[in-house]
Amino acid sequence: MRYRQFGKIGYKVSALGFGAMNLPHVPFEQAHAALNYALDRGINYIDTAAAYGKSEEIVGACIGKRRNEFFLATKTGKRDYASAKEEIERSLNRLQTDTLDLLQIHYVNYVNEFKQAMESEGAYEAALEAKRQGKVRHIGITGHRPELLAKWITSGKFDQVLFHLNLAQPFALKELIPKLAELDMGRVAMKPLSGGFIQPVDKALRYPYSQDVHVMISGMISVDEVKQNLAALELEVGDEEKRELELLAEQLGEHNCRRCNYCSCPLEIPIPDMMISSQVRQTFGLLPKGDAFYQKHKGKLLSCAEYEPCREKPLCEEKCPYHLPMQRVVQEASGYFQ
Q: Which residues bind ligand SF4 (CB under 6 A)?
A: 257-263, 265, 267, 269, 271-272, 275, 304, 307, 310, 314-316, 319-320, 322, 324, 326-327, 330
Looking at the Cβ atoms of 127 and 267, the one nearer to ligand SF4 is 267
- In the complex, the smallest distance separating the C-beta of residue 109 from ligand SF4, rounded to whole angstroms, is 8
Nearer to ligand SF4, 62 or 269 (CB): 269
| Minimum distance from residue 317 beta carbon to ligand SF4 (Å) | 7
Q: Give whichever of 144 and 214 is closer to ligand SF4, judged by the CB atom.
A: 144
Which lies closer to ligand SF4 via its Cβ, residue 168 or residue 310?
310
* In the complex, least distance from residue 150 CB atom to ligand SF4, rounded to whole angstroms: 16
Nearer to ligand SF4, 91 or 277 (CB): 277
Shortest CB 17 distance to ligand SF4, Å: 24
When the beta carbons of 112 and 120 are compared against ligand SF4, the nearer one is 112
Least CB distance to ligand SF4 at residue 196 (A) = 17
CA angle centred on 221, ends 218 and 9, rounded to 5°: 40
Quote the least distance from Cβ 161 to ligand SF4, whole Å.
18
